[in-house]
Structure 1
């Protein structure tokens, strides 16, 4: 490739401008007010396989095979000198004949050159193709990880559901009331963990979980599995906006499921009532409360041995 410097036009102090642009590692082009090339550095020639003999005095949008003929970019460059504007971070995506697909960011501003201090346009080009490729690869890896995470949660929830079903079948076959109660308690707790896992399926690792929506979905699942249409018991979720990490959401989900199940099992001997789940938060803390309008605890009630 011929790297012979192009000849100056329109009286440009070419030696000075050429010395400046040659010190820069990124591709540089200097245009006059007619968008004709008046200077460029070797980085530009090398990067884009441009012959310096063929660009002297050519309009920028006529260079090469038309890769720089971007009407929106041309319009911006035409405004740089008369309107004293700058072009910053303008993205150009083009498939070059010898380079393949390239993604570039372009900056342009005016400079004063020549003895008469006339204004030209100084353009710097940053090739970000590799950075974009790395970014895409990272996004693809994150997507794959999220897919695997969702699949893992789904499998865990299914396995827990199977274990819970086996425990429930076992509880039907035992005669001891105490053993039966323990097995049913274990069944309920496993179901609660499975429900929490299943309802975190749409959540990606590292993302934030909108708590109120999460609790609504969770309680809807609990209503379906624990209440169904058999009892006139309602499960209500109220509160304000707030988000937590997936780990915090798991804790909130387990606490909510545990307390809701306890209310459903013990608070409504007549089979009717309401359980209310309330979530509030501010910049410093969040508060979760679960209440019901059931019979409450007896003042003389004693602690029973169990799983919790």
Structure 2
């Protein structure tokens, strides 16, 4: 470059911007790159003979340069690279696509045993488009695959255990419920019998959630329709066994809630059914109806339990059942509304917002 100075014009040298200017030629650079790559690498000519190999290739497969260079790739290591999948890659896929990534093969290699290898191939050409070369990178993923298999086995074991837990819990709860029911039949005190029967129904409520988890593919969400139907069937059976011919009717829309929410909702239904048995049918009638309804929308859900009993008394004294319902509703961040006439009572539990529409007991 020329520049003006007080004594005249001078030439200034500008450093080259080519980072490889100090290297004699491209061949030297290519050899340096191949030699320093950490993973096994082969450079093949168009006849699939080895032009060069990385140090990692020699180290990994226990071969010497004279056993590799200028030899057909399929002859390396006594023919251990004569792999059908490799032939497909080199002879069929690469000529059509020029690039192939993550082509996995599994093979028994002398000295290192059975290994899983990922093959990555690329066809490269010189500036004139002649003398094509194939770069074949080889990644040993044997240990990675072993870890993946182990993780998959652990995940399967965990899934099996998670599926087994509801079954074991359900069986335990059924045993407890049976003990409570048997005990209720043997005690002399009517008050104690009533408490035991109430406890029996509460245990049944939780056991129903566990049974629903058993048959569900999703351990986190509960389908409300089948769940409420099973729960009310169990409650109705216990009422019939106690000589209380009350019909339980379920009308539930499709929808899911978390397993924790399902437990709380089931306990609410149980408490309200217990309250209806105690207070709604005290006029000497032969039977009665308790209707359980559930509806859901994207913004919320509503549970309603209605009866066709005598309606609300003039003064409602809060008992254990009412307190439990209110406490469970607070856990669900839901509102409790009670309405009644001389033809029955309806208790609604609403979470979020949802339009009115649940039927009362007929």
**TM-score (ref. length: structure 1):** 0.74
2:105 is matched with which residue? 92
Contact 1:81 1:119 in 2 (8 A): no
Aligned equivalent of 1:276, options 275, 293, 300: 293
Bigger shift: residues 175-184 or 86-95: 175-184
Contact 1:168 1:184 in 2 (8 A): yes
**TM-score (ref. length: structure 2):** 0.65
Aligned equivalent of 1:261, options 270, 277, 284: 270
Task: Report the CA distance between 1:299 and its aligned residue.
Answer: 6.9
Q: Deviations over 1:99-146 (max 9, x none)?
A: 222112121123345998633111211111111111211222233333
* Change beyond 3 A, Cα 1:41–1:232: same
Task: Report the CA distance between 1:182 and its aligned residue.
Answer: 2.3
Gaps of 5+ in 1: 1-12
* Mapping 1:27-66, distance limit 5 Å: 27-64=40-77, 66=79
Question: How many Å separate the matches in 2 of 1:70 and 1:110?
Answer: 19
Aligned equivalent of 2:208, options 147, 171, 195: 195
Matched, 1:298 2:307: no
Task: Report the CA distance between 1:25 and its aligned residue.
Answer: 0.8
Aligned equivalent of 1:218, options 218, 227, 230: 227
Bigger shift: residues 19-28 or 191-200: 191-200
Q: Deviations over 1:142-184 (max 9, x none)?
A: 3333333444433332222212222222222334443333222
Question: How many Å separate the matches in 2 of 1:174 and 1:256?
Answer: 30
Aligned equivalent of 1:250, options 243, 253, 259: 259
2:148 is matched with which residue? 135
Bigger shift: residues 19-28 or 39-48: 39-48
Which is greater in Rg?
A: 2
2:48 is paired with a residue of what secondary structure? coil
Aligned equivalent of 2:118, options 83, 105, 108: 105
Contact 2:107 2:114 in 1 (8 A): yes
Contact 1:89 1:106 in 2 (8 A): yes
1:135 is paired with a residue of what secondary structure? helix
Aligned residues: 283
Superposition CA RMSD, Å: 3.6
Matched, 1:75 2:88: yes
Task: Report the CA distance between 1:196 and its aligned residue.
Answer: 1.8
2:302 is paired with a residue of what secondary structure? strand
Gaps of 5+ in 2: 1-25, 241-245, 282-286, 325-362
Question: How many Å separate the matches in 2 of 1:123 and 1:162?
Answer: 65
Q: Deviations over 1:21-52 (max 9, x none)?
A: 11111111112223322111121122123343
1:160 is matched with which residue? 173
Question: How many Å separate the matches in 2 of 1:81 and 1:97?
Answer: 27
The higher relative CO (CA closer than 8 Å, separation ≥ 6) is in: 1
Bigger shift: residues 296-305 or 41-50: 296-305
* Change beyond 3 A, Cα 1:120–1:171: same
Bigger shift: residues 50-59 or 129-138: 50-59
Contact 1:30 1:39 in 2 (8 A): yes
Contact 2:38 2:56 in 1 (8 A): yes
Question: How many Å separate the matches in 1 of 2:182 and 2:297?
Answer: 39
